Amino acid sequence: PAMKTLLEGKEVNIDGFICPGHVSAIIGSKPYNFITTQYKVPCVICGFEPLDILQSIYMLVKQIEDSRAEVEIQYERVVKPEGNKIALDKIKEAFKVIDSDWRGIGNIPLSGLEIKDKYGKFNARKFEVEIEETKEPKGCRCGEVLRGVIIPPECSLFRKVCTPENPQGACMVSTEGTCAAYYKYN
């Protein structure tokens, strides 16, 4: 649902997706097929090593150059088209699909998971802990970065107020965040 939301949004023109290897190790490549068939947007499932990333970019660019839209698995040493059946069965047994809020996007119907009632004793919600709604600091454009509308330097906080030592938004907090990576490598 999240990728469909991005594809149907009018903010960006998506030429291709580099899909996450860790998620795809569980779900496989088949859930991405609708992207290539309905939207004609190529996808490459990528590993995490530098060579994986370079090869995935090459594979994606090659598809675009060849006017192809397929789901290719670069991360073949881990990802199989059918995914991990045992893990998928366990997820289906323990969780139900719900509407979920996505940072920078908002609520997307049927895009999240919640523990099923039969496993309610494991549900942290039973503790009735009040969770404050998180809001991005004033001026933070993390949502736009996540959606691909802008690149990190287009945010007025980037490298000025917002640094890895003083992160203002989620994109800078984690070393995997878009802004943190941009900060480190540019």
Question: Is pLDDT at 134 greater than 80 in this prediction?
Answer: no
Measured CA to CA, the distance from residue 25 to residue 79 in angstroms comes to 5
Q: Which residues of 97-127 are buried (b: 16+ CB within 10 A; e: fewer)?
A: eeebebebbeebeebbeeeeeeeeeeeeeee
Question: Is pLDDT at 168 greater than 90 in this prediction?
Answer: yes
Question: Is pLDDT at 21 greater than 80 in this prediction?
Answer: yes
Q: What's the whole-number average pLDDT of the chain?
A: 95
Residue 136: the pLDDT is: 82
Mean per-residue pLDDT, 124-148: 88
Question: Is pLDDT at 141 greater than 80 in this prediction?
Answer: yes
Give 16's pLDDT tier (boundaries 50, 70, 90). very high
Domains of the chain by residue range: 2-73, 86-117, 142-185
Measured CA to CA, the distance from residue 130 to residue 44 in angstroms comes to 40
Question: Is pLDDT at 184 greater than 90 in this prediction?
Answer: yes
Mean per-residue pLDDT, 8-24: 94
Torsions phi, psi for 128 (to 5 deg): 50, 45
Mean per-residue pLDDT, 130-152: 90
Global pTM reads: 0.87
Mean per-residue pLDDT, 20-28: 98
| CATH label, 2-73, candidates 1.10.240.10, 3.10.350.10, 3.90.1150.10, 3.40.50.11750 | 3.40.50.11750
The percentage of the chain sitting over the pLDDT mark of 90, rounded to a whole number, equals 84
